[in-house]
Amino acid sequence: MLPLLVLACGPKDENGDGIADGIRDPDSVSVVAPANPKGTVSGQVLDTAMQPLAGVSVRLTIGSDTAEGKYVVQTDALGNFMFKGVPAGSTVLVTISKEGYATLRASATVPANAGNIPINDANASLGLVMLAKTQSKVSFTLLTDKGQPAVGAQAFLEAYPAGLISAAGTTVQATSTVTAVPAVADAMGVVTFNNMPSPSELTRIGTLPQSSTTTAYYRLWVDPVDVNGDGVIDSGGYASPIDASVLLKSGSQIVTLNPAKNSGGSTAFTLLATNVPSLQLTPTSPPEAKKPMRNLLRPGDPIYLGFSQPVVRDSLIAILTGEQGQAAIELTVTPNETGDAYTLTPAMTNVLEGQEYNLILRATSAYSGAVQTWKGYFVSGDVKTPRPLQLENVTFKDGTTGTPNVLDAGECVILTFNQAVTSTAFQLDALLLNGTDTKPYKALPASYPSAVSACFGSEAVKIPIDTSFQATPRFYFTYGLASDTTLPPINPNSTTARIRVDFSKFQQADFSQYYETAWGAPVPSTTVLERTITPPVR
């Protein structure tokens, strides 16, 4: 038998692509991806007349990478630029600048893959980049609200947009702006900014194709100005955009600064702020606003006054006096540089804790000439160190009949506490201790000036203070009736007689009836105060 020889032949792969020739549907295909894919960033730079700009510096920044010259190129004669070897997936900042033109900044991301497959040589194109020419002067005439040139006003100008970017067929405005060097208004109020886009340049670049509207504008800021150098602000500032197309049509623009006024926002001449709130009381203010504790002024602190408008130099009159309104207390008046804030410093030796002091003000507005007056009061005291109520003095007033320096029936006994007291309708008990307790008398408040002439004579203030604040350290009661012969006369020079002020009956009263100290604390119902009667002072 002869052996049978069989020759077997496999499929051919003559092109070496790993797939058998003639087979179009392999079971699997392996793709080799680039290890470090790179891409490009490109664009073309033009002026606003659509002419190429050569020699434009284009800088690429990847993250914080600013390697010397690594990503800096110049545009060619056609305004084209391209960066190669940019890491795929990078978000880059492109800075485009040329002397005499605005600087533009734009961001782009270099594609890193197509679908799920990493790719090389992907391109991020900025498309057409248009730069605004900055070779013109832009001027404005600045006037104060009174129409005079705003001489010396410092102004700042910004132009928007600095350019245009047309990427992938979509036109978008650049985010960059042109900011001018600050300028100062001359004797005619004219302020001029150099190296800015002209109105026509800005209007052209800010008007979108097929559109009649523009988004191009100058933004002008002007600081408040003191025209005559007296320290008083003559006009407020200015902050507003100015349409470039409007300036293009008009050729010039007068800018009127805002009227000067303080943060209260009112054009009226008012007292905006003070640490003596009673100066700002109105007829509709609640009664609580008049309380001493709302008007405490810490010993050593000055009085602060903030006006809505500057005050004419030397026009502020400030008079400080005690509760009696008899004599002025020394007061140092100090204005700030702009004339709209003052400090008033009382002489320390003349101000006592717990006592009421009245303040009268008169001032003239430097803007309108309006004259305003204010009246208020404060109590000297530190809210952190309240003082307890004490009976400081007890005396009496001699009547027209009877023995001098002797307390006779029908005469008034006067009690003085160590601080202003806010009383209520609930009357205070005062007992005269002269050997044995007697029935209590009802002590009543006696603010200055008192209308009780039998006890205080014809009291009158010499300084026209506001007498409606209703807190006082002075109280009084009448020692019986003049016709009462059962009441013994009391001579304090030969007899020790004491007055006891008793708050114990307040235990039966509602809490709202409690008296208050100057610090706003209720006088405890356990309070009992005594003081020896002294002869009246002539």
Contacts of residue 519, defined as CB under 8 A and 6 or more positions apart, other chains included, come to: 292, 293, 296, 381, 383, 386, 387, 419
Could you tell me the two tokens for 337?
A: 């540089």
Same domain? 119 vs 145: no
Spatial distance between the Cα atoms of 260 and 255, rounded to a whole number of angstroms: 15
Q: What is the pLDDT of residue 263?
A: 58
Domain CATH for 53: 2.60.40.10
Residue 176: the pLDDT is 72
Does one domain contain both 419 and 493? yes
Encode burial over 184-196: b for 16+ CB neighbours within 10 A, e otherwise.
ebeeebbbbbeeb
CA 144, CA 138: separation in Å to the nearest integer?
20
On whether both 440 and 510 belong to a single domain, the answer is yes
Q: Given this model, what pLDDT does residue 4 score?
A: 34
Report the pLDDT value the prediction gives residue 117, as an integer from 0 to 100: 59
Q: Which of 357, 380, 403 is the last residue of a domain?
A: 380
- Is the domain of 425 the same as that of 467? yes
43 closest CA partner among 100, 104, 90, 102: 104
Helix (H) or strand (E) holding 205: helix 199-206
Q: What is the pLDDT of residue 5?
A: 36
380, 405, 431 — which closes off a domain?
380
19 is a domain residue: no
Q: What is the pLDDT of residue 6?
A: 36
Domain identity same for 228 and 320: no
Structure confidence at residue 265 (pLDDT): 52
Q: Which two tokens stand for residue 27?
A: 């079971």
Give yes or no: residues 252 and 289 share one domain: no
Say which DSSP state 2 is in: P
Q: What is the pLDDT of residue 170?
A: 43
Q: Are 459 and 396 in contact (CB under 8 A)?
A: no
- Residue 199 sits in a domain of what CATH number? 2.60.40
**Same-domain status, 244 and 374:** no
Last residue of a domain, one of 93, 113, 131: 131
Q: What is the pLDDT along the chain (538 residues), one digit of tens a residue?
A: 334 333 344 555 455 444 455 555 555 555 555 556 888 889 999 998 899 999 999 999 887 665 555 789 999 999 999 998 888 888 888 899 999 999 988 888 888 765 555 666 778 888 889 999 999 999 999 998 888 899 999 999 999 888 888 766 444 445 678 888 899 999 999 999 999 999 998 888 876 555 556 688 999 999 999 888 877 788 889 999 999 988 888 887 889 998 877 655 557 899 988 999 999 998 888 888 889 999 999 998 999 999 988 899 889 999 999 998 899 999 999 998 878 899 999 887 778 999 999 999 999 998 889 999 999 999 999 999 999 999 999 999 998 888 899 999 999 999 999 999 999 989 999 998 875 556 899 999 999 888 888 888 888 888 898 888 879 999 999 998 888 888 889 999 888 889 999 998 888 888 889 999 999 999 999 999 999 999 997 6
Q: Output the pLDDT for position 333.
A: 95
Q: Which range marks the domain in which residue 479 is found?
A: 391-532
Q: How far apart are CA 29 and CA 37, in angstroms?
A: 21
Instruction: In whole angstroms, give the CA distance from residue 156 to residue 182.
Output: 5
For the purposes of burial, counting CB atoms within 10 Å of the CB of 349, is it exposed (0-12), middle (13-18) or buried (19 or more)?
exposed
Are 210 and 339 contained in the same domain?
no
Residues 358, 427: one domain? no
Q: Into how many domains does the chain fold? A: 4
Q: Do 116 and 140 lie in a common domain?
A: no
CATH number, domain of 346, equals: 2.60.40.1220
Per-residue model confidence (pLDDT) at position 520: 93
From 36, 38, 34, select the one nearest 124 (Cα to Cα): 38
pTM over 0.85: no
Whether residues 516 and 461 fall in one domain: yes
Residue 306 located in a structural domain: yes
